[in-house]
């Protein structure tokens, strides 16, 4: 009887281990369009076509304590509340509320935050540090999903704009302070140090944020969009992401002002960001995508859509063409093509190698300026 029990126990262990080794099916997720524009709509007017970003003060004194930093930056920080309409399983509209942070970059009511804070919101409310509350006009909210940045204009003047710092002067180990609206509980401050610089982080399929500041300052839901300040009381980053996993602690990320300011300037001056544009939508090719679409290769970026009249259309690219090389560099994912396009210049010519059926072909395209959202 004992031998039978032992044999059954061994068999159950073997079966359990075998079950752990079974591969799980993976459903491919499409990459976003390479120009990352939102759903088609009439472009909103720019906020201020003559706006120029504030310049850092090269010799601002270091403040003696974290309390002094908070006292200087706090008046410029805002709490953002949003309402987003979603559908339940019965397709009944539901209103979901969200919270985020932002900071005043211009005294005439221009506020910086993250795209994901306001994305899809039907109502955006901004509360200032003095308690005043403003509802933002949707036409005065401009976003750039690719860099996760957004600007909001409210109807207010003579606001306390934050001072800008030079993020390129940061060193690992420098003290920083994250100020924001964690969990929607009101403006809070949390100190930490810079633990990494020029960090890249995959935040979504086909989207990677680069030149991030990694910090040990606590960043919680609701902190997104708030300022990361140095010990001079200057904004050197925009808090954006956090790795939340069991056993992971103290890994928060902020978009450096060096990367953010050129994007913010375009959003304010013209309402959208211009980049080199090819005019295609892509999927990353894997074995599943290759099998379903009967592709002859299982690596690269397959063309899902070609916009009529775009550089891609003029170059002869078609749906289900698989891009395998871009400017003689091997391509293994849709993200690599998107990054290669954005790293190119408007008006520059690019060389594209692709597979159509069983035939490998090469073409060239001249990139143009990305069109405004909705065009």
Q: Write out the two tokens for 343.
A: 């790293």
Which residues, other chains included, contact 332 with Cβ-Cβ below 8 Å and sequence gap of 6+? 284, 299, 300
Among residues 105, 101, 129, the alpha carbon closest in space to that of 116 is found at 101
Report the distance separating Cα 323 and Cα 319, nearest Å. 11
DSSP designation for 339: H
Contact 233, 163 (CB under 8 A): yes
Q: How far is CA 117 from the centre of its chain?
A: 11
Q: Which of the following is catalytic: 144, 148, 166, 321?
A: 148
Contact 186, 81 (CB under 8 A): no
Write the CB contacts of 11 (distance below 8 Å, at least 6 apart in sequence).
none
Instruction: Let me know if 204 is a catalytic residue.
Output: no
Please report which residue ranges of the chain form alpha helices under DSSP H: 2-20, 66-73, 115-118, 257-270, 287-292, 311-314, 334-342
Which entry of 216, 224, 240, 344 is annotated as an active-site residue? 224
Whether 224 sits among the annotated catalytic residues: the reply is yes
State phi, psi for 335 to the nearest 5 degrees.
-60, -35
Six token digits for residue 259: 């990367």
Say which DSSP state 32 is in: P
Cα–Cα distance, 212 to 250 (Å, whole number):
15
Annotation marks residue 68 as catalytic: no
- Residue 201 burial by Cβ neighbours in a 10 Å radius (0-12, 13-18, 19+): middle
Query: Which residues are CB-contacts of 131 (< 8 A; sequence separation ≥ 6)?
Result: none
Catalytic residues: 116, 148, 224
């Amino acid at each position: 009887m004992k031998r039978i029990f032992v044999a059954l126990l061994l068999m159950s262990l073997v079966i359990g281990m075998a079950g752990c080794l079974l591969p799980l099916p993976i459903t491919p997720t499409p990459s976003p369009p390479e120009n990352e524009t939102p759903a088609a709509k009439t472009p909103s007017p720019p906020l201020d076509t003559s706006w120029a970003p504030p310049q850092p003060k090269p010799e601002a004194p270091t403040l003696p304590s974290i309390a002094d930093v908070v006292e200087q930056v706090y008046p410029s920080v805002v709490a953002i509340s949003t309402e987003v309409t979603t559908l339940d399983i019965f397709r009944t509209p539901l209103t979901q509320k969200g919270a985020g942070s932002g900071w005043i970059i211009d005294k005439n009511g221009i506020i910086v935050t993250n795209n994901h804070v306001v994305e899809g919101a039907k109502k955006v409310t901004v509360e200032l540090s003095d308690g005043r509350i403003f509802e933002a006009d949707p036409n005065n909210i401009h976003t750039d999903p690719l860099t996760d940045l957004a600007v909001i204009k409210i109807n207010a003047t003579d606001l306390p704009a934050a001072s800008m710092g030079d993020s390129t002067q940061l060193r690992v180990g420098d003290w920083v302070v994250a100020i924001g609206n964690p969990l929607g509980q009101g403006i809070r401050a949390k100190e930490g140090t810079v633990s990494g610089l020029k960090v890249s982080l995959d935040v979504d399929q086909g989207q990677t944020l680069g030149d991030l500041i990694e910090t040990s300052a606590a960043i919680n839901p609701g902190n997104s969009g708030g300022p990361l300040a140095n010990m001079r009381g200057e904004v050197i980053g925009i808090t954006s992401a956090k790795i939340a996993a069991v056993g992971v602690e103290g890994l928060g990320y902020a978009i450096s002002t060096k990367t953010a300011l050129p994007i913010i300037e375009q959003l304010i001056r013209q309402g959208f960001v211009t980049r080199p544009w090819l005019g295609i939508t892509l999927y990353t090719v894997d074995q599943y995508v290759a099998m379903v679409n009967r592709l002859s290769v299982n690596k690269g970026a397959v063309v899902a859509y070609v916009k009529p009249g775009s550089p891609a259309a003029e170059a002869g690219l078609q749906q289900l063409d698989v891009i395998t090389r871009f400017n003689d560099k091997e391509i293994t994912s849709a993200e690599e093509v998107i990054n290669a396009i954005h790293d190119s210049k408007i008006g520059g010519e690019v060389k594209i190698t692709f597979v159509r059926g069983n035939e490998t072909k090469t073409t060239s395209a001249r990139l143009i300026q990305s069109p405004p959202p909705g065009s």
